[in-house]
Amino acid sequence: MKYGFLAALLIFIFPSQAEDSYSLYLVRHAEKQATKDDPKLSRCGELRAKQLATILEHAEIKHIYSTPYQRTIATATPLSQQNRLAIKQYSPAKLAQFSQKLLKQKQNTLVVGHSNTTPQLAALLSEMDVAELTEKEYRNLYQIQVSDSGKTLTLFTQPLTCR
């Protein structure tokens, strides 16, 4: 696994030339308000969601998926609006089937999930070990690049720091 925001920019600037190459981007929802049932994003979370749209602006995203919760949908919304793409829902209880669907699509895709599902999905897609996330981690952006030569998993850290 490689780390760094600069590396992320290099991947977007110099994408793979393989014809069947595509990237799957996975992120946990941004920071949420401190309510119990289906919370909205906090102010910081809204900023992080906008930053995600900026980071992925040139990634040629063709599909956006989210679980059916306010915080995940709100995290995906800025990129959805920017790219004029509908947000499709997926079930976090059926990650194995969903991972196969993503791999069969063979298109650049963003998936917004949760602290307990995002690392699991990254592991399924990349066939690599992925560390779990804590409840306080919101900065990780996973990129699984799939090409004729195999799969790579890169972990980027969004630079936004909110207080």
Q: What was the pLDDT predicted at 48?
A: 95
pLDDT tens for each residue of 122-147:
999 999 999 999 989 999 999 999 99
Please check whether residue 83 lies inside any domain of the structure.
Answer: yes
pLDDT of residue 19: 59
- Residue 70's domain spans which residues? 23-108+120-142
Residue 29 included in any domain: yes
pLDDT value at residue 16? 45
Residue 156 lies in a domain: no
Round to whole Å and give the CA distance between 66 and 13: 26
Q: Check which CATH number belongs to the domain holding 137 and give it.
A: 3.40.50.1240
pLDDT in the model for residue 44: 94
Averaged in consecutive runs of 10 residues, what is the pLDDT profile of the chain (163 residues)? 42 50 97 89 95 95 97 98 98 97 97 97 96 92 95 88 67
Residue 14 falls inside a structural domain: no
Residue 162 lies in a domain: no
CB 146 within 8 A of CB 132: no
User: CB-based contacts of 41: which residues, under 8 Å, 6+ apart?
Assistant: 29, 30, 31, 32, 33, 49, 70, 71, 74, 75
The helix-helix angle for 43-55 and 70-83 (nearest 10°) equals 40
Question: Is position 114 within any domain?
Answer: no
How many structural domains is the chain composed of? 1
- The rounded distance, in Å, linking the Cα atoms of 50 and 44 is 10
Residues 90 and 70: their CA atoms lie apart, in Å, by 14
> pLDDT tens digits for 55-70?
999 999 999 999 999 9
